[in-house]
Amino acid sequence: MTETIQTLYTIFNRNDPTPTANALRNIGFENAVVLILGQEDFNPRHQENLARFKTWLTGSPRYHVEEEEEEYRWPDMFWKQNWEWEGIDSEKVSFLTAEGITADLVNLISSEDTVDVTSGTKIQVATLIQELHNNHCNPNIVLQTQNNQTLNISTGNLIPQMTPLNFRERVWLSSGYIVDYEVKGDPKIGEIWIGTRKKLSNEVVFPKQGEISKKLGKNINLEHGYWLEEAVTHMMSTWSTISETYLGPRLIRPSFSRAAGAAFFTVVAKVNQDKRGRGPLTEYKESILKIDEHEDFEEKQHQAFEFLLKTEFNRKQIRFIHQCLHSVEFDSVAFDASSGKVYVVECKAMTNIKPGVLGRIFAITKLVFPTTGVPMLAYGGTTSTTSNGVYQIAWPELATEEILSQLPKTYKLPKSTKKEKTQKQRSTENNQIVNEVKKRHATLENTRPLLNIIRADPRDWLQFVNLVTRNGIKAKGLWKKMEKWGNSSKLFELDPERRGSVDWISFRDAKKD
Amino acid sequence: MVNTLLAVLGDSAVPSLALLHSGQYDNLVFFYTKENEGKASMFSQFSKFAFPEINVEINEIPSINDPASIVEYAKKFCSEYKNDFSIFATAGAKQTILPFVAQAPKSTMVSLLHSPLRLIVLENNLEKEYLLNGIELNQILATRGWNFNGMLRKGNQQFDNVQPRFDAHTGRLSFIGTSWLRRANREDEIHSLSKKEKKEVQNEDQILTGELLQLSEDFGKNGANYSIIGALRSPNRAVLPPFIRHEMPVDEEE
């Protein structure tokens, strides 16, 4: 149990309010004072971050946007209670604005208080620590660590999280979106995906359809990529460090009028696609398309808004519209509570990945989680690596979190999935494969895929040797062998002087991939 | 008396390089966590090569995920050095540098400010300023393994459409990408592209965004300004992270 302390002082973090919110959640207090330093220099983004933080305290983003008309607020019909979180008692939290760390401010603090220094510039905080020391004032000086514990920076004492911020709160604080999701990752289902045999079809790794469908008790359709999103969400939920995973979370703007605009656009597209007329909004098809015909954009928006607000939809229709309200959608996300990282995963059941796709994954990850977001692509290929700054992982490798420290790595389809084997053989097959590959001597043929990896993702000689050995190839005498291969194949040249850098190898045709 | 400065090697490249240029310290002691091992290794190679006359010590401290051990490390270090050092408070995560401040609160604090780029030394409530000169773009890039010779390169990686800039007066590093439509001088056609062209533009601009994001991993999202100049189609514009600016320059009329 964390003791309740007298007063908690914390500085508002203008670039991302998450650490300030973390402090209020993690540290027990009777009163909290949030210091807003240098507000006169806040830019519009900082001001919006402050407004969002104040909304977070209330526990609901429903009234965050002050719409021009009251009727433009979120109607009960479309608002979900589970989009909210537990608020903070507003009477216990006060705000104090100051230009910087002033003597008056330092004099407010007593030795019984706690000062959270997670936010504010480092020089502001260093000055604060020095001034407190000069005043012979010894409060607990703490900060929120990246893995969401409270660290006393003088003693090194760590206090575990009290009530960690959930995924929904984190998204709200860092980007201002409301999160809607329907399926949470389940480690038991993840184990089923992990234990199901895999097969290669046109070089894409699939689960055995009959087997996975039988085990899950529902038909898994491999024709649609959706199975991969499901597999990834449940598989990553088995990782020891992952506390939450979600399938296809949708991020919705806090303004209902803007969300409604996005929804209507999607509704029109879906109604147009629904050639058989079996969709949930079929009865309104005519009115929807009539609204869409308006050429005046503002008028169209107004009509669309009125339609969504004044129509009496049934539950099925409301659920359908909920699925259209978002501006951003992720295939899967996983929150790592030990490091504070959020893995944003795009799923592609294919092997051919364009660099543009990787750029897009990187962008949407950093859009929502500028600091803690980690972009990841789970795909149907067999090579796991880091490409263009994005983890690109062969999906079966997501069975274990260790894959991220073993990159690059080539996924080997266990032999037992090609031919039926006994359970015992299956359980030892991974070890057998490792033993088999350990015996391999380096040849140009078996090293070439690894050379392709470092060509796209350069690394120094030692890192390359690690890569080679991790892939079951002996590295003894590798340099000499590679010199010979380079001379004979003319594919690359080695520079022994530059083994400490990534320039130890230069590919002769490496102008641009 | 040896004049020692402690600093953490953080994500941004300019602060640590500025210390090498400052000429104020006989002994620079840098710390890095294993998460920044790659950057530390490149910085070490660079400092040995470019500043052989400066005594640079580079020490690994415990992982950022083991903050209690960082505090223990700071306690031990400060006791061994008898708190006889200054602390550079501008670089590194708070949980790496503040334990040193907490152990040695009487130390002189040093920070870096821009516009103009200068070192601020705060000792006994007295502030001294030292203007920093001589920092060059290619030095900054080299501390992260990059170089620029008309084209940005790191090993076999090369970014054709991103221009790096360093304003020596303000001390600001910038990476500026040019959108596909601007490169092709077809910004006026943004709404009239064929479906095939839209796809190509989308892919090319996604690659450009990805390149800026990769640079932000090497130089820190707050360690440089990142921007894309020129018309961008909406799907790409809508997903730009907040630290990448989109600019539509007003072309001068001939």
pLDDT at A436: 41
- Quick check: A318 pLDDT over 80? yes
Q: Check residue A35 and give its pLDDT.
A: 95
Diameter of chain B by CA atoms?
A: 71
Cβ contacts below 8 Å, chain A against chain B, sum to: 166
Residue A421 has pLDDT above 60, yes or no: no
Give me A384's structure tokens.
Answer: 């796991």
Q: For the ranges A253-257, A259-263, B1-5, which has the lowest average pLDDT? A: B1-5
Compare CB distances from B239 to A152, A339, A360 and report the shortest one's residue.
A360
Which of A14, A123, A462 to mutate to test binding with chain B, by most B CBs within 10 Å of its CB? A123
DSSP letter string, B203-254: HHHHHHHHHHHHHHHHH-TTSSEEEEES---HHHHHT--TTEEEE---PPP-
Q: Quick check: A3 pLDDT over 50? A: yes
Q: For chain B, list the domains and their CATH numbers.
A: 4-131 (3.40.50.10770), 147-247 (no CATH)
* A388 chain-B contacts, CB cut-off 8 A: 207, 210-211, 214
Give the containing element (helix H, strand E) for A345: strand A342-348
Whether residue A414 has pLDDT greater than 80: no
Give residues with Cβ within 8 angstroms of A458, minimum separation 6.
Answer: A502, B154, B155, B156, B157
Among A345-359, A438-452, B13-27, name the one with the lowest average pLDDT.
A438-452
Question: Please, which pLDDT band fits residue A296 given cuts at 50, 70 and 90?
Answer: confident
Q: Which residues of B touch A363 (CB under 8 A)?
A: 206, 209-210, 213, 236, 239-241, 244
Of A31, A18, A174, A33, the closest CA to residue A97 belongs to: A33
Mean pLDDT along residues A68-74: 75
Query: Which residues in chain B land under pLDDT 50?
Result: 1, 252-254
The encoded tokens of residue A473 equal: 């190839």
Q: What is the mean pLDDT of residues A243-265?
A: 90
How wide is the angle at C-alpha A12 spanned by C-alphas A362 and B86, nearest 5°? 90
Mean predicted confidence (pLDDT) in A54-75: 85
Average pLDDT for residues A414-426, to the nearest whole number? 50
Alpha-carbon distances, residue B153 vs A88, A191, A512 (angstroms): 50, 43, 11
pLDDT in tens, A147-169: 778 999 999 999 887 778 888 99
pLDDT in tens, A167-176: 899 999 989 9
Of the candidates A513, A208, A232, A244, which has an alpha carbon nearest to the alpha carbon of residue A394? A232
ipTM over 0.90? The verdict is no
State how far the Cα of A140 lies from the Cα of A155, in Å rounded to an integer. Answer: 9
| pLDDT for residue A431 | 44
Q: What is the least distance, in Å, from the CA of B207 to any CA of chain A?
A: 5
Q: How many residues does chain A have?
A: 513
Residue A379, pLDDT above cutoff 90: yes
User: Does the structure show a pLDDT above 90 at A279?
Assistant: no
Contact A231, A192 (CB under 8 A): no
Paired strand residues for B167? B172
Does A295 or A240 have the greater pLDDT score?
A240
Angle between helices B37-50 and B14-22 (to 10 degrees): 30
Residue of B nearest to A366 (CA): B241
Question: Which of A256, A247, A270 has its CA nearest to residue A317?
Answer: A270
Buried b (16+ CB within 10 A) or exposed e, A272-306: eeeeeeebbbeebeeebeebbeeeeeeebbebbbe
A299 contacts A261 by C-beta, under 8 angstroms: no
User: Nearest CA to A72 among A251, A321, A253?
Assistant: A253
Is A4 a residue whose pLDDT tops 50?
Answer: yes
| Alpha-carbon distances of A61 from A57, A121, A260, A434, A497, rounded to whole Å | 10, 28, 16, 52, 59
CB B32 within 8 A of CB B54: no
Closest chain A residue by Cα to residue B95: A145
pLDDT of residue B253: 41
Cα gap B125→A336, rounded to integer Å = 43
**Rounded to an integer, what distance in angstroms lies between the CA atom of residue A386 and that of residue A212?**
29
DSSP A500: T
Q: Does the pLDDT at position A139 exceed 90?
A: yes
Q: Is the dihedral of CA A57, A164, B239, A231 positive or negative?
A: negative
Q: How confident is the model at residue A393 (pLDDT cuts 50, 70, 90)?
A: very high
**What does the mean pLDDT of chain A come to?**
86
Q: Which domains does chain A have, with CATH numbers?
A: 5-175 (3.40.50.10770), 188-249+331-410 (no CATH), 255-326 (no CATH), 422-507 (no CATH)
In B, which residues are within 8 Å of A354 by CB distance? Answer: 203
Summarize pLDDT for A470-506 with one digit per residue, the tens: 777 888 888 889 988 888 888 888 888 777 677 788 8
